[in-house]
Structure 1
Amino acid sequence: MEDRVLIFDTTLRDGEQSPGASLNVYEKLEIAKQLEKLNVDIIEAGFPVSSPAQFEAVKRISGEVGVVIAALARAKEIDIKTAYEAIKDASKKRIHTFSSTSDYHILGKFADERYGKNLSEKRKTILKMSYDMVQYAKTFCDDVEFSAEDAGRTDISYLAEVIEVAIEAGATTVNIPDTTGYTMPSEFGNKIAELRKRVKNIDKAIISVHCHNDLGMAVANSLAGIENGARQVECTINGIGERAGNASLEEIVMALNVRKDLYKYYTNINTKEIYNTSRMVSAFTGIIVQPNKAIVGENAFAHESGIHQDGMLKNRETYEIMVPETVGVPKTKIVLGRHSGRHGLKARLEELGYHVTEDELQKVYEAFIKLADKKKEVFDDDLRMLMGDEVFKKQEHYEIQYMHVNAGTNSIPTATVLIKNHEKEYSDSATGDGPVDALFNAIDRALGFSHTVESYQVRSVTSGREAMGEVLVRIRYKEHSFTGRGISTDIIEASAKAYLNAINQLEIFKAENENLAEEKSVSKVI
């Protein structure tokens, strides 16, 4: 273990907290299976106490995926017990509990005088709470991780006290998160080194780091943590997560892989599955990977400059420090056509990391044939979009049955829609500033309410005139955002699917949070 770094993937927990990201149980399970194929060491499957859907997803993953499954829990008995109930079927399980430790968090979250009248008293309360809850978690599970929330801004002396107490109570992993992405690499590395000096029982636990990217330092801070003794890194696929995101799994892994001359550490990650995993997460979450993203961006291995192209032709190593095949980037993306059969489709889906039953295969095959009739050639990214589209969406409240849009340079755009909700149908027409605005207005009128549209994005999934178009629509409800995605060779149809998908995400959220007041009318902005 001295040279091995454990990869703790939190895509399904912290990653899903990305603004607008929302995954259903099926999608989480598919990603978890792909993460197992990627060979991560620990999967943080979710925060079970937060909602019934979170609990169900963690429970399903625990029963079907063989790596260590972790569930997040606040330092509260109800959270810890619920976390255990969700992961109890896992062959290898971990309870991950946390307490706030920085003065900012203590004075904010624990302002009530029942936690103490001053900072000193409140700190003592946190110490006792941390000890008691780690000890309580140990009654359910031998593998317990403790996190000191906002450790990056926590006084080192107090942080050392908390970590020592957590290990004394039985924590086998202690996590030092840079929760707000505040620290610099040298500063964060020194903090890990200081903890190794100050915490007398530190040798009884693995040190973990969990870095956020608010200042763009998440990966650099994670590597600094490893250099100074951390042997577990918490990260996400594509670096998704709260605010500016988390440390990117693929960047950390490949930094250690490529710079073996500098870093004498290794992971057990199957790097050839990085690209497939990245694309699956992007397809399911609707979060687009920026073209210039390191390792997995479309331009990561592209060379346009004449000087660069000439150098590449003479010697590949002139401008490439790793070959695309190392991370699983395929040489060709064209795979299937209209004459391809079910077996060929299933085989290719499995190569891309998807697992389908015969019933599910039939559904995706029907969608595939419709697409192949329009496109002739179907690319890997088309298949990924199909797998993330409505074919496997569960609990849909509203579904588009019919739409007609009329627009031209000298006419007012109009749209008519027919929407189905179980056995009930809704229809209406509306005008708008453009065809998409008219379409959204028609949907709003048919359903009898509207929502604030925070963003509307369109992109081409593949190249050519027959390319699949993907639309992402983010709507807002109170302090929550919901992202819907739709795909089609018709961008107007994709827009309707995306808007309804976002509304469906909201309806699922409302059903799971009945205490929230119903809000039927909110201003709409495009």
Structure 2
Amino acid sequence: MRIRIFDTTLRDGEQTPGVSLSPEQKLQIARMLDELGVDAIEAGFPVISEGESKAVKMIATAGLSADICGLARADKRDIDAAADAGLDYVHLFIATSDIHLKHKLMMDREEAVRRAISSIEYAKSRGMKVEFSAEDATRTERGFLRDFFKQVAEAGADRADIPDTVGYSTPAYMAEITRDAVEATGLPVSVHCHNDFGLAVANTISGLQAGATCAHVTINGIGERAGNASLEELVMALQCLQFDEARSTGIHTEKLYGTSRAVSGLVGIQVQPNKAIVGENAFGHESGIHTHGVLSNPLTYEPISPELVGHTRRLEVGKHAGLHGMNAMLGEYGVKPTAEQSKVILSRVKALGDQGKKVTDVELLSIAGEVIGEPGLRRMVQLSGFSVSTGIGTMPYAFVKLNVDGKEFSATDYGVGPVDASLSAMQKITGEIAEVRIREYGLASISGGSNALCEVTIGVEDAKGNKASARSVGEDIVTTSVQAVIDGMNRIMLKKMLGGKKTRG
């Protein structure tokens, strides 16, 4: 069975607290979604602002392959706004649960049905296809919901949608009301699930198994409160898990990780490291037992290949590490210690792990260099001097001194903030001496309070296009940013120096 993927990142996803996209950013994301292979894009809610209407119109006229849809209440003004934005497909909705009818809409069930029918007829008169949602369907009295969908179909709706508006359903109940809607309408049925209880993807799958043919999803599962069903999780579950009937989508899965990172950057919401499918740790291994198994056959501890979703496998070392994984990491740099040297290196790695310290591959190489007597296996770049100056009425200023392969270099620069000034000063040194430039920078808070920890991720690239990334965690944003850049530079310079090089041992 072919499942239709209806992406609402640009509408429900943008309703995430703190997220606001410009028309140009929305068009940029819409193009990514189209390249990803989604069947429909909910471009926005045209009536809410001039900018939103402009964004929807830009997307509707961009020549994308996906169906372009806009949200509208069961109201002529909303429908006109959608039509005037150039849409021929509208997602209409009205609440059907008693709690919404009484406390939000102040109307009875009969009036809600009349409004729904009237809005469908008006939208059809304006030449639009209609997908109709019974908002808060999972808290609506089941008999009324079934009758409501029947009348929506008779009024001329082209599709029916079941929203689990506050994530209140269980998979079993979602299956029951989906079967009701399919039987009552004879229309293609969609399911739109929220993640308040962590069941959005499970409820979506249950609805699809019960007869729905379309899933409403967002990239990274973003959305109001706890978010929506995650596109990447749902698509890979449908493709890879064991179902009684095969289900496919038109998604180009190798683009999932790249799309996830791009959307994350544009909306300003960091993807949690342990996020399924697209998190940084989704294919990361430290445990000796796991790395040994993965090196023998990746399927031992990975349900799918990371390449299938455009991701990469990552081995790390720490107190849980084993010899196989550690030696595999060293082997990437052409470093091959003897059996005895490996044991010594591993014992030192574990000692650092027991102290709560993260051991990067740069640190691993430095330890290995000391053990096997290779002075070249060390940090190529070290911070030897650093200061920043900032304040009200003065432009932030930074001084940075780096030791690059035994030679001292220093630079100063201004910036829009202390971090920008520091990175600009470092860029002066690295661009001139090591031909390494900073290409990506990400910042996220990972704890609360006045002494919150921040996480900085950095991407660097040399003149030949070789890339490396690094992550640093600390209390001070400026210092943590500088350290992340230095780690990234060390990685790319060591890889360039040691790539394919044989070492003693």
Q: TM-score, normalised by structure 2?
A: 0.65
**SS of 1:130's equivalent?**
helix
**SS of 1:241's equivalent?**
coil
Match of 1:191 among 169, 177, 180: 177
Match of 2:50 among 40, 49, 52: 52
**SS of 2:17's equivalent?**
coil
1:32 and 2:40 are equivalent in the alignment: no
Cα distance in 1 for partners of 2:193, 2:127 equals 26
Cα distance in 2 for partners of 1:132, 1:215 equals 35
User: 4+ residue runs of structure 1 moved beyond 2 angstroms?
Assistant: 194-197, 260-263, 416-419, 453-459, 462-471, 488-491
1:322 and 2:304 are equivalent in the alignment: yes
Q: Which residue of 2 aligns with 1:131?
A: 117
1:206 and 2:188 are equivalent in the alignment: yes
Cα distance in 1 for partners of 2:243, 2:115 equals 43
Q: Which residue of 2 aligns with 1:176?
A: 162
Cα distance in 1 for partners of 2:16, 2:67 equals 23
Percent identical across equivalent pairs? 46
Q: Which residue of 2 aligns with 1:9?
A: 7
Q: Which residue of 2 aligns with 1:339?
A: none
Change (3 A) 1:469 1:15: farther
1:193-243 CA-to-partner distances (Å, cap 9, x unmatched) read 23334x1xx22x210000000000000000000000010100000000000
1:154 and 2:140 are equivalent in the alignment: yes
**Contact 1:469–1:490 (Cα < 8 Å) also in 2:** no
Q: Which residue of 2 aligns with 1:243?
A: 225
- Counterpart residue identity of residue 415, structure 1: G
* Structure 1 residue 418 displacement after superposition: 5.5
* Structure 1 residue 417 displacement after superposition: 3.6
* Structure 1 residue 490 displacement after superposition: 6.0
The 5 A counterparts of 1:426-437 are none
Change (3 A) 1:220 1:461: same
Change (3 A) 1:225 1:466: closer
1:71 and 2:77 are equivalent in the alignment: no
Q: Which residue of 1 aligns with 2:336?
A: none
Q: Which residue of 2 aligns with 1:256?
A: 238
* Structure 1 residue 304 displacement after superposition: 1.0
1:144-184 CA-to-partner distances (Å, cap 9, x unmatched) read 11000000100111111211111111111100000010111
**SS of 1:8's equivalent?**
strand
Gaps of 5+ in 1: 116-121, 333-403, 407-413, 420-434, 437-452, 472-484, 492-526
**Contact 2:97–2:135 (Cα < 8 Å) also in 1:** yes
1:224 and 2:206 are equivalent in the alignment: yes
**SS of 1:462's equivalent?**
strand
Cα distance in 2 for partners of 1:75, 1:139 equals 14
Change (3 A) 1:129 1:269: same
* Structure 1 residue 329 displacement after superposition: 1.6
Match of 2:290 among 297, 304, 308: 308
| Structure having greater relative contact order (Cα 8 Å, sep ≥ 6) | 1
1:100 and 2:86 are equivalent in the alignment: no
**SS of 1:7's equivalent?**
strand
* Structure 1 residue 8 displacement after superposition: 0.2
- Counterpart residue identity of residue 66, structure 1: S
* Structure 1 residue 415 displacement after superposition: 1.4
- Counterpart residue identity of residue 105, structure 1: H
* Structure 1 residue 461 displacement after superposition: 1.7
Q: Which residue of 2 aligns with 1:415?
A: 391
Q: Which residue of 2 aligns with 1:431?
A: none
* Structure 1 residue 457 displacement after superposition: 7.4
Q: Which residue of 2 aligns with 1:21?
A: 19
- Counterpart residue identity of residue 18, structure 2: G
**SS of 1:96's equivalent?**
strand
* Structure 1 residue 259 displacement after superposition: 1.5
**Contact 1:101–1:154 (Cα < 8 Å) also in 2:** yes
- Counterpart residue identity of residue 262, structure 2: M
**SS of 2:182's equivalent?**
helix
Change (3 A) 1:470 1:268: farther
Q: TM-score, normalised by structure 1?
A: 0.62
Count of aligned positions: 352
Change (3 A) 1:52 1:489: same
* Structure 1 residue 130 displacement after superposition: 0.3
Which stretch shifts more, 162-171 or 228-237?
162-171
Change (3 A) 1:124 1:418: farther
**Contact 1:466–1:489 (Cα < 8 Å) also in 2:** no
Change (3 A) 1:467 1:299: closer
1:462-505 CA-to-partner distances (Å, cap 9, x unmatched) read 3799969999xxxxxxxxxxxxx99x9569xxxxxxxxxxxxxx
Larger Rg: 2
Change (3 A) 1:245 1:295: same
**SS of 2:279's equivalent?**
coil
**Contact 2:182–2:188 (Cα < 8 Å) also in 1:** no
Which stretch shifts more, 94-103 or 456-465?
456-465
**Contact 2:137–2:164 (Cα < 8 Å) also in 1:** yes
Cα distance in 2 for partners of 1:51, 1:469 equals 40
- Counterpart residue identity of residue 327, structure 1: V
**Contact 2:73–2:92 (Cα < 8 Å) also in 1:** yes
RMSD: 3.1
Cα distance in 1 for partners of 2:288, 2:18 equals 40
